[in-house]
Chains A and B, each alone.
Chain A
Amino acid sequence: MEEKDNLITVNIDGQDLQVPPGTNMVEAAAMLGKEIPHYCYHPKLTIAGNCRMCLVEMGMPGKDRATGEPMLNEDGTPKVMWMPGPAIGCGTKAAPGMHIKTDSPKAIESREAVTEFLLLNHPLDCPICDQAGECTLQEFSSSHGRGYSRFIEEKNVKPKRTRLGPRVTLDDERCVLCSRCIRFCDEVAGDSVLGFTDRGSYSTLTCFPGKELANNYSLNTVDICPVGALTSTDFRFKMRVWFLKETNSIDLETSVGANTVVSAREGKVYRVKPRRNDEVNDTWMTDSGRELYKTIESEDRLLECSIGGVPASAQDAIAEASSVLQGGGVAIVGSGRNSVEEQYALKAIAKSTNASAVYLVARYGEDDGILMSVDRNPNVRGALMTGLIDALPEEQLSGLGAKIDSGEVTTVLSSQEDLLAAGLSEEQLGKVSIVYLGTHRNGTSERAKVVLAGLTSFEKSGTVINQQFRIQKYSRVVPGPGGAIEDLYALAMIQANLSGESFASTVGSIWKEIGAEGTPLAGIAFQSLSDQGQLLDSSAFDHIPFKEGKSLHFEPKQEAVAAE
């Protein structure tokens, strides 16, 4: 095979393969669909090389010591000089002519040996272990173990439930000492709190004295733990993982839009974990984002629609909302938490009602430089791209307050936003008829003429556009409460009533309009959108002074920074 560009040709189990410089042998083998088993290696962390599970045979083309000429076999092919001992795949970087054997007797025997060693002092408590079913040690013991034990001695005893921090509990007997969690804290979270104490097989993972694993990324250590040593205190002993059904979703707590996978069983969400996206969040997400599922069943959840505080059917509530909005003097308060589809429908309603103004409520918080951006709304850019708004929103709705005071606005449609929290007074709210579409009770829902009980992002599908102008989709994980109605459906019905024309009411159908030719979102469709999202042309918004700073895979545009 010829060398192309700066690619390096290596040979894995007799197959030539071209890889970029710096590629390690675990990744190279994966390109050929071969799994070199490993515990300590993680693509987003530095190489530790300590588990020794990825041992392979390695050889390089021989060179004559005296002449420096390549040594050749009888058939003229380069003679490969195999190393006497096995080498770790993760720490072996591609070099021209490198040969690797992943399935030779020596490589297989090395893996069997490491597997035997790892199981010596492992408690084998799979029946009560949360990791069972998604445990690397379990899987590799089955695929790379000998299937019998030669160990008759007593196993080491270690602490079974150490609290490392508010959200992470350590079962030390299960730990294979791969050091992934330590490296994660050092290298990604920037919070060095973990280390090993003691020596040899008695080594113990622990927090530094006086410290705890409390950073907002602590649960990533649970994700990357290849065994059941680090467990989520929240998820611990709640559910066997093989019963869980997984659905791809997006973390909607900030404009980063970390990719997630949500696990649920029989209509109940049990956990949220990060999903790998090398352009957005790598394999990480925040602890706070994992908690969001708890809003589904929170006490203040709106379980049914109502008119004038009296429970009503969704149909009646939609009809009443439509007639309220037909009264004129309408202002729309949309949300940066709405999906692109909802924002598109809100824009249509604003047009039909001839709304005097459309607002969004800005939410800003501390930037942590990793996956928590300043903008705590996940989809302000969606509102910009759908044309719902044309400038960055304010945190306070003082403009709307003035319009209410002047009598210009008499009706407010709020989607997901509490107007009191956004700076309006009770008195101002008393002056207007409110249609509230939201998921949870608040000051606005209590004062609303019509309340439409909506769905959380776990109960509906949609798209959001993150700080990079990457459009990403989330899908329904669980059904919503019986009395609730999907936000997009409610908005579509209202718009149909207002305009007298039908309006697309599902994420599937509405993209025929949103993604129509000539529009900023042309060519996009919910169904065909990749799970990794799609980067959009954001040049039309270069002048907007977005507030996000640098984070994991995001650099603010220079113009925007300068404008600020």
Chain B
Amino acid sequence: MAVHPKEQRLILKYADEPGYTTDIECYEKHGGYEMLKKAVGMDKQAICDEVKASQLRGRGGAGFPAGVKWSFVDRKSGKPVYMVCNCDESEPGTFKDRQIVHKDPHQLIEGIMISCFATDCAKAFIYIREEMPKGAEILNQAIKEAKEKNFVGDNILGSGYSCDIVVHRGAAAYICGEETGLIESLEGKRANPRIKPPYFPAALGLYMCPTIVNNVETLCNVKHILEMGAEAYTKIGRPNNTGTRIWCVSGGVQRPGYYEVAGITLGELIYDICGGPKEGRTIKAIIPGGSSMKILKNGERYTGKDRDGNEYDWGIEDIPLDYDGIAAAGSMSGSGGMMVLDDSVEIPVALANLMAFYSHESCGQCTPCREGSLWLKKITTRMVHGEARPEDVDLMKSVADQIEGRTICAFGFAVAWPVQSYLAKFEDEFRDFAQRHSKLGGDRTAAKELACNH
């Protein structure tokens, strides 16, 4: 796949180069493991400081500064510290970590080892989603190769520091990607997220030990920060939104795919890189960061004041394609899974599809998410099968409000945000849809089947 000129490839620099393979010789030929060699000669704190100074933010969804996260780790407990690489990539619309693991596994391993060395972790785990069996195979092979060359394992490169990497295949559920659910799953249990407080991973994580959980892409970035230095790294992108990001574009565009960019706008990605809408279609809305994020409506104006007090007035295409830009437009960049909905999509149907997913993936532990998500699925399924009622629109809003912020983990937001935002932005369409699809007294069998059999 040819790299688009507007792309700025850092993480995926070599991934799609013809002849680039996953074996360690190829990686080393491209300068691989040089940074690990450099790191083991450095002061651990200096690496942490560098990562903090780089303003690297988590690429998994929440966008929390990685260096700050590292500094939270409880060092006083005397317990071992664990590093967990979250490779459960299960947010619909996201497929970036897959590219890294499948095409450049050693980059991830180097990133993990540098991070482990810097934070003095006793052991690293890669929690890879069940549906990436090939990825797990590739990673295991890569770790084996890295061990043979002493990049992983005992007394790494003679530094006296030892750390092993364990690849653990996930339990095939969306919730396994939630930090504490992942930890439970890694411990061999059902992936029920833990309550916080008290179970913050930085203090009581894996096996009740301090644990750092970082996304694949985040850890890869550490290598590059060390390579170019924090100062140069911060020059990529905008302040507080440093580095490149890999965006996964799917849906109604001419060239869906993954694109690593920095410092461009949403419009540049969608229209220039992805070629805009398909022939004869127009873009109706964009879900910017994975299916749980709030939807952005095309044609709307996004106004407000930025941090420095400057007023902005953007169309959807003007939104800066980074954490703060998308947040200013009222959504989040999330995991970078961008879904483009064109005018062929009926929003209520899209919502029904999403609710079917989220109700299926709710772990069932806490009441609002468990019951609310299935109720929303039943309502939306009923709607799209001809049994909509005018009051359903307000009901769905109310149910979503009853879930949001009242659950153990962020899954509650993932259920509520789409409902709230779709209704807020497309209320007329929902009301019109409800009007048109209201055949009360009709045959309910189909709706019942869909809504109630799982």
Contact = CB atoms under 8 A, between A and B. Distances in A.
Nearest to B448: A154
Nearest to A116: B402
Given A177-B370, A199-B360, 7 more contacts: A49-B366, A49-B408, A52-B368, A86-B406, A113-B368, A117-B368, A156-B452
B98 interface: no
Interface string A209-236: 0000000000000000000000000000
24 contacts: A48-B195, A51-B366, A52-B368, A86-B405, A91-B197, A114-B368, A117-B372, A118-B367, A120-B374, A151-B375, A153-B379, A154-B448, A154-B452, A156-B374, A177-B364, A177-B365, A177-B367, A199-B364, A200-B359, A200-B361, A200-B364, A201-B370, A201-B373, A202-B454
A202 B374 CA distance: 9
Interface string A84-100: 11101001110000000
Contact of B406 (A110, A116, A202): A110
Contact of A117 (B197, B360, B367, B395): B367
Contacts of B454: 202
Interface in A42-57: 47-53, 55
B407 interface: yes
Nearest to A156: B452
Contacts, number: 101
Interface centre among B190, B406, B452 (most CB of A within 10 A): B406
A51 B364 contact: no
A282 to B, nearest CB: 23
A116 B402 CA distance: 10
A200 B370 contact: yes
A163 B406 CA distance: 34
B173 interface: yes
Contacts of B374: 120-121, 156, 200-201
Contacts of B293: none
Interface string A64-103: 0000000000000000000011101001110000000000
B362 interface: yes
B381 to A, nearest CB: 9
B359 A201 contact: yes
Interface of B: 173, 190, 195, 197-198, 359-368, 370-375, 378-379, 382, 395, 398, 402, 405-408, 448, 451-452, 454
A117 B365 contact: no
Interface of A: 47-53, 55, 84-86, 88, 91-93, 110, 113-114, 116-118, 120-121, 150-151, 153-154, 156, 176-177, 195-196, 198-203
Nearest to A110: B406
A52 B370 CA distance: 11
A120 B370 CA distance: 11
Given A198-B364, A201-B364, A117 B371 contact: yes
B378 A153 contact: yes
B309 to A, nearest CB: 19
A85 B405 contact: yes
Contacts of B378: 153-154
B406 A150 contact: no
A91 B365 contact: no
B367 A50 contact: yes
Nearest to A48: B195
Contacts of B405: 84-86
Contacts of B407: 52
Nearest 10 Cβ contacts at the A-B interface: A85-B405, A203-B364, A117-B371, A113-B402, A153-B378, A49-B195, A200-B362, A201-B374, A200-B364, A154-B452
Nearest to B382: A153
**Binding site of B, secondary structure by majority: helix, strand, loop or mixed?**
helix
Contact of B367 (A52, A85, A91): A52
Contact of A120 (B371, B382, B451): B371
A91 B375 contact: no
Contact of B373 (A48, A86, A114, A200): A200
B382 to A, nearest CB: 7
Residue from A55, A86, A91, A93 with most neighbouring chain B CB atoms (10 Å): A91
A50 B451 CA distance: 25
B401 to A, nearest CB: 8
A51 B451 CA distance: 24
Residue of A53, A88, A199 most packed against chain B (CB within 10 A): A199
Nearest to A176: B367
A91 B193 CA distance: 14
Contacts of B367: 50-53, 114, 117-118, 176-177
A108 to B, nearest CB: 13
A201 B452 CA distance: 11
B293 to A, nearest CB: 19
Contacts of A48: 195
A35 B124 CA distance: 45
A146 to B, nearest CB: 11
B190 A196 contact: yes
Contacts of A51: 366-367
Nearest to B444: A154
A446 B10 CA distance: 96
Contacts of B368: 52, 113-114, 117
Contacts of A154: 378, 448, 451-452
Contacts of B198: 91
Nearest to B194: A49
A60 B409 CA distance: 22
A452 to B, nearest CB: 58
A451 B406 CA distance: 67
Contacts of A93: 197
A556 B329 CA distance: 68
Nearest to A114: B367
B184 to A, nearest CB: 13
A172 to B, nearest CB: 13
B443 to A, nearest CB: 14
Contacts of A118: 367, 371
A113 to B, nearest CB: 4
A176 B364 CA distance: 10
Contacts of A49: 195, 366, 408
Nearest to A203: B364
B364 A47 contact: no
- Which among B365, B367, B379, B451 has the greatest number of chain A C-beta atoms within 10 A? B367
Nearest to A117: B371
A116 B399 CA distance: 10
Contacts of A53: 367
A50 B194 CA distance: 10
A91 B195 contact: yes
A25 to B, nearest CB: 12
Most A CB atoms within 10 A — which of B197, B365, B395? Answer: B365
Nearest to A202: B454
Given A47-B195, A117-B372, A156-B452, A201 B402 contact: no
Contacts of A198: 364
A358 to B, nearest CB: 56
A134 B374 CA distance: 29
Nearest to A179: B365
B371 A121 contact: yes
A512 B331 CA distance: 79
A169 B198 CA distance: 34
A283 B295 CA distance: 50
A88 B195 contact: yes
Contacts of A86: 405-406
Q: Which of A84, A110, A117 has the most CB of B within 10 A?
A: A117
Contacts of B366: 49-52
Nearest to A109: B402
A52 B195 CA distance: 11
Nearest to A83: B405
A186 B242 CA distance: 47
A180 to B, nearest CB: 13
Contacts of A150: 395, 398
A117 B363 CA distance: 15
A117 B362 CA distance: 14
B166 to A, nearest CB: 25
A89 to B, nearest CB: 12
